[in-house]
Structure 1
Amino acid sequence: MTTDMGELAETAFSGLAERHRRELHVHCYRMLGSFEDAEDTVQETFLRAWRRRETFEGRSTYRAWLYRIATNACLDLLARVRPEPATGGEVRWLQPYPDLLLDELPAGAADEPETAALARETIELAYLVAVQHLAPRPRAVLILRDVLGWPAKDVGELLGDSVNSVNSALQRARAGMREHLPAERQDWTGGEEDAGTRDLVRRFTEASVATDIPALTAMLRDDVRCSMPPTPGLHIGRDTVVNDWIQDGFAEMTGLRALPTAVNRQPAVAFYHWREGEAAYLPLTLDVLRITGGAVTEIVTFHADRFAGLGLPERLPAGDAR
């Protein structure tokens, strides 16, 4: 009888926890900037919650209780693995988040225009990069207060701080975000892409497959930023970015194919390269674009090892020309 009751309790717990898995994963992803670290931290959250299930007293919602555990699990991971925040405008551990999984977030308040815009903007890569430049505790305060809308009192209880300390940390965090976010953030495109954005992505894709450097250059804003985590190096400015492409031999590449996709609520293009020995196009890189005012303002390129986690094909057959 005891075993049956224990199994029933575990089944009920798992059902409750699983309902919040995706939003907890997104929360941990904002805290950590890494899809894989977020996955591990959610698993740790559920393990801690199960072990401490007797401590849930019902003074807050079950969802809020899980968020508390998840936030502390993120802070513990950061203390072990990345006690220092990012510097220099790049995040070596940054990983993309597929839109297909973001679509699993529960509906409700997020359907309201302002809330939906907030959810979208705070998952874009530029926001993730900026927030990773904050120290862990101010980062937690910013996300809990400005993204989740928690009262300062509740954040203070979670972190063991006073309301004054929380408010002070929030001010510092917001100042840090202003320093690292793009100046034109209020003009970002987001949500449903307009016709101009779709056309620019199409032209960028076609020019990339053709390695048409002049055409690509014409689409870049003069202060465009380009990075390729985890490879170090942040390139800023049209001439710098284009020169880097030329030096890397991109202009001489042939045998490229591309698939459009979307990650972090941004347009993205997955590139494949012909491999004669495989008689197929194999994953090469994923370009995630930020577009502002009809120009490409940022390109974050990820390696082929991200394709599987994004649900992208592991190969394109010879006849699959895009």
Structure 2
Amino acid sequence: MSSRGVTRHMDDGYDDERDGEMTVDTRMAETDEQEFSALAERHRRELHVHCYRMLGSFDDAEDAVQETFLRAWRRRETFEGRSTFRAWLYRIATNTCLDLLATKRPEPATGGEVLWLQPYPDRLLDDPEVAAAARETLELAYVVAVQHLAPRPRAALLLRDVVGWPAKEVAELLGDSVNSVNSALQRARAGMREHLPAERQDWTGGEDDAATRELVRRFTDATVATDIDTLAAMLRDDVRSSMPPTPGVHRGRDAVLADWVQDGFTEITGLRGVPTSVNRQPAVAFYLWRDAEDAHVPLTLDVLRVSGGRITEVTIFHDDQFARLGLPERLPATR
């Protein structure tokens, strides 16, 4: 893999015999709704992850998969068995995402921020369909970089470099020539190099990384104590911070800390932190004590990117993400 992670990952695989679907009945028009649903549901999670990469939003990916299944059922007679049922669903899902982008987000992201960005629960990534997916293509920085690409080059990149489709198959889906797809892919890879962190090869932060776990513990303790000086020592000089959907990306330790102080961080009391993970990255769910609730209630989810033993990015999400991530809706008082 290159230092910027733009070579082919093929983590989802493109093996026609991978899922045993060479024997899928091609008389799909005769399939009843229950049988069709059972076939399609096998691929729900991997299609959802694909749509999430395309769209950058968990909610939009959910809508796209639902629309994909609806379109597939309505057009089931068009499945002729020339490819696997799985590949046929990927085609429909990709076109669904392109249609959604055309109406909802005709322009790609700019300036390094994605206001519609949402985290993806790691517990769903443990599904057997996607458990082997490359961590690099699920981390927030990768998803953010993808959102800066125009829709069709974005689709070409994900289908070629992540799903592992041959250029001919991508060209057929997009209605382009192989040369056009290869040209779009080159532009997309160049765009990814521009928007991905330069040190990406050196990222750490897997759950097996004891040093990262210790860093997350210290980050949690310092945040609960609102100890700005200790936090400063953990941040790399070029750290960046954002809080989608709130506009604004803060770059550099001084700018990030100044933003936190301005937001009243040092005046907060009654915090508790719960370590978790999303997008294959370490994260901490912070809860704030509320007397009226007699409990700690959700406040923010801080997702960390770690490099060289320092925190190099903090993406902060609002409390509306907690339920989706399977986090407790409240923490009782500690007695």
* TM-score normalised over the length of structure 1: 0.93
Q: Superposition pairs for residues 53-202 of structure 1, below 5 Å?
A: 53-106=76-129, 110=132, 116=133, 119-202=134-217
Per chain length, whose mean CA-contact separation is higher, i.e. which structure has more relative contact order (CA < 8 Å, sep 6+)? 2
AA aligned to 1:35 is F
1: CA distance, partners of 2:141 / 2:224: 25
1:217 aligns with 2:240: no
Shift of 1:107: 6.6
AA aligned to 2:121 is P
* Cα deviations by residue, 1:199-234 (Å, 9 ceiling, x for unpaired): 000000000011010000000000001000000000
In the alignment, is the contact (CA less than 8 A) between 1:30 and 1:123 conserved in 2? yes
Q: Match of 2:296? A: 281
Relative to its length, the structure with more helix (as a share) is 1
2: CA distance, partners of 1:215 / 1:7: 65
Q: Match of 1:44? A: 67
1: CA distance, partners of 2:229 / 2:153: 43
User: Given the superposition, is the C-alpha separation of residues 44 and 174 from structure 1 closer, same or farther in structure 2, using an over 3 Å criterion?
Assistant: same
AA aligned to 1:150 is W
* Cα deviations by residue, 1:247-303 (Å, 9 ceiling, x for unpaired): 111011100011111000000000000111111111000000000000000000000
1: CA distance, partners of 2:158 / 2:309: 30
* Cα deviations by residue, 1:89-108 (Å, 9 ceiling, x for unpaired): 00000000000000014279
Shift of 1:55: 0.5
Q: Match of 2:244? A: 229
CA RMSD of aligned residues (A): 1.5
Percent identity, aligned pairs only? 79
Shift of 1:61: 0.3
* TM-score normalised over the length of structure 2: 0.90
- Secondary structure (helix, strand or coil) at the match of 2:115 reads coil
Shift of 1:160: 0.2
Q: Match of 2:218? A: 203
Shift of 1:9: 1.4
Q: Match of 1:113? A: none
- Secondary structure (helix, strand or coil) at the match of 1:273 reads strand
In the alignment, is the contact (CA less than 8 A) between 2:287 and 2:300 conserved in 1? yes
1: CA distance, partners of 2:120 / 2:205: 15
Count of residue pairs brought into register by the alignment = 308
- Secondary structure (helix, strand or coil) at the match of 1:44 reads helix
AA aligned to 1:94 is L
Q: Which runs of 4+ in 1 moved over 3 A?
A: 190-193
Structure 1 residue runs without a partner (length 5+): 1-5, 111-115
User: Given the superposition, is the C-alpha separation of residues 217 and 171 from structure 1 closer, same or farther in structure 2, using an over 3 Å criterion?
Assistant: same
